[in-house]
Amino acid sequence: MGAYRYTAFDTAGKRVRGSLESASARTAALELERKGLTPIQVDEQAAVQRRTGVRLPVRKLAMTYQQLSDLQRAGVPLLRALRIVGKQKSSPKIAGVFDQLADEVADGVELSTAMGNRPDTFASAHVALIRAGEKAGILESVLSRLSSMLAAQAELRAKVMGSLIYPSVLAGFGVLILIVVFTAFVPRFRPLFARLEGDLPPLTGFVFFVSDLMGRYIGATVVGVVVVGVGIAMLRRQEKVRQWAAETQLKLPVVGRLVKTLSAARFCRLLGTLLDNGVPMIGAMQIARQAAGHPVMARAIDVAIESVRGGGSITDPMSESGLFDQDVVEMIAVAETANNLGEVLVTIAETIDKRVDRLLTTSVRLLEPLLLVLIAVAVVVVAAALLLPMAELSSGL
């Protein structure tokens, strides 16, 4: 018997932590399930001290899972497969972590438990999938599907980041131009306008004010920006503020649509992968809730969990949330009836990814000219602010 610490969800969907005595991590997980808890992480008390905060690149981790799956398919035992991955020189981080996993597996610890001891390295969804694969004896298949899921996530993230590179460069270049204008160009006109009688036009006064903030009073400006940033960070810690910001984000014209689509794709892919590999419905939804990545989506999933727990369907809460397109809801409803929800959810995620690609393309095409217009407007405002007093000066001569 040994002491084990656990993290699980109770019947109300709340996260609970505790410890218990058991012969193994598998026995401890089964005991928690008999108590009506859904185990997410079960750690041997001594193993808790061996946790590591190493973060692994998603794409390389996906390749590693696929490599382990291929080795298992070829008949290589799990421990030897872990040792092979642990000897790779192409990725020292991956090799180090999986070599440690091999050491724990050699000591009789299950792979899912060893991974659960490293929550900063392996997400709870990974641990739950591996544990389900171990229980069902289909670890090879689970590793392959986990690899596919991570590869799809990495591909989607790469598309998002790649689409934002050019607008970011354009925005940075525009900001640099404005900084040069306000700090080097505008101040040269101040002595000239000092000859004017009376007050300067409001637009000119505003431009000089901005110029002073970015030049003469830059220290106070930096302090003010830091104070505002800290204030916003403190406000974002409050639940009501986070909910309001999340709801406001979804109402934005283009950004809201993109955020909803990304969140729906992430949820469908993870839930489908979990269900397709034998993770129970309630536990799978609770894990997928953590990875949803958006407070409004998490709230909608909570409602869906209560519906499923009461014997209802997940389609009604999804439809009411407004986060899923109607055709997606209809496909989920048909899949629930046909009892192949996991497979259909993964297919839906792939379909949503294509929509994300189209949305990104459209958004970037709209964003590029918008940034150019904003930069042009800013330059025109500065030019007008400087020309108005010069016109008055010329007329007074």
Per-residue pLDDT reduced to its tens digit, 241-268: 877 887 888 888 878 888 888 888 888 8
Q: How many CB atoms lie within 10 A of CB 366?
A: 13
Cα–Cα distances in Å, from 156 out to 53, 150, 187, 266? Answer: 25, 10, 46, 10
Q: Are 61 and 153 in contact (CB under 8 A)?
A: no
Q: Are 288 and 302 in contact (CB under 8 A)?
A: no
Please write the tens of the pLDDT for every residue from 68-100.
Answer: 999 988 889 998 999 998 888 778 888 888 988
How far is it, in rounded angstroms, from Cα 164 to Cα 161?
A: 5
State the average pLDDT for the chain. Answer: 81
Amino acid at 66: Q
What is the per-residue pLDDT for 230?
Answer: 92
Q: Is residue 4's pLDDT more than 50?
A: yes
Please write the tens of the pLDDT for every residue from 121-130.
Answer: 888 778 878 8
How far is it, in rounded angstroms, from Cα 24 to Cα 30?
A: 10
Q: Is 251 exposed, middle or buried (0-12, 13-18, 19+ CB in 10 A)?
A: exposed
The lowest-confidence range among 46-60, 61-75, 220-234, 315-329 is 46-60
HSE, side-chain direction, 13 A CA sphere, residue 276: 22
The SS3 call for residue 43 is strand
What is the per-residue pLDDT for 70?
Answer: 92
Taking the model in full, what pTM does it have? 0.65
Please write the tens of the pLDDT for every residue from 345-383.
Answer: 888 888 887 887 888 788 878 888 888 888 889 888 888
Q: How many CB atoms lie within 10 A of CB 87?
A: 11
Q: Is residue 185's pLDDT more than 80?
A: yes
Q: Is residue 155's pLDDT more than 80?
A: yes
Please write the tens of the pLDDT for every residue from 133-150.
Answer: 887 788 888 888 888 888
What is the per-residue pLDDT for 49?
Answer: 42
The SS3 call for residue 87 is coil
**H helices then E strands: how many in the chain?**
17, 3
Q: Which residue has the higher pLDDT, 175 or 397?
A: 175
pLDDT band at 223; cut points 50, 70, 90: very high
Q: What are phi and psi of 9, to 5 degrees?
A: -105, 135
Q: What are phi and psi of 176, to 5 degrees?
A: -60, -40
User: What is the percentage of the chain residues whose pLDDT exceeds 90?
Assistant: 5
Residues paired with residue 346 on neighbouring β-strands, in sequence order: none
Q: Cβ contacts of residue 313 below 8 Å, gap of 6+?
A: 307, 333, 336
How far is it, in rounded angstroms, from Cα 111 to Cα 113?
A: 5
What is the per-residue pLDDT for 257?
Answer: 83
pLDDT band at 152; cut points 50, 70, 90: confident
201: which DSSP letter?
P
User: What would be the CATH architecture of the domain defined by 151-397?
Assistant: Up-down Bundle (1.20)
Q: Which two tokens stand for residue 167?
A: 């607008």
User: What is the percentage of the chain residues whose pLDDT exceeds 70?
Assistant: 92
Q: How many CB atoms lie within 10 A of CB 101?
A: 24
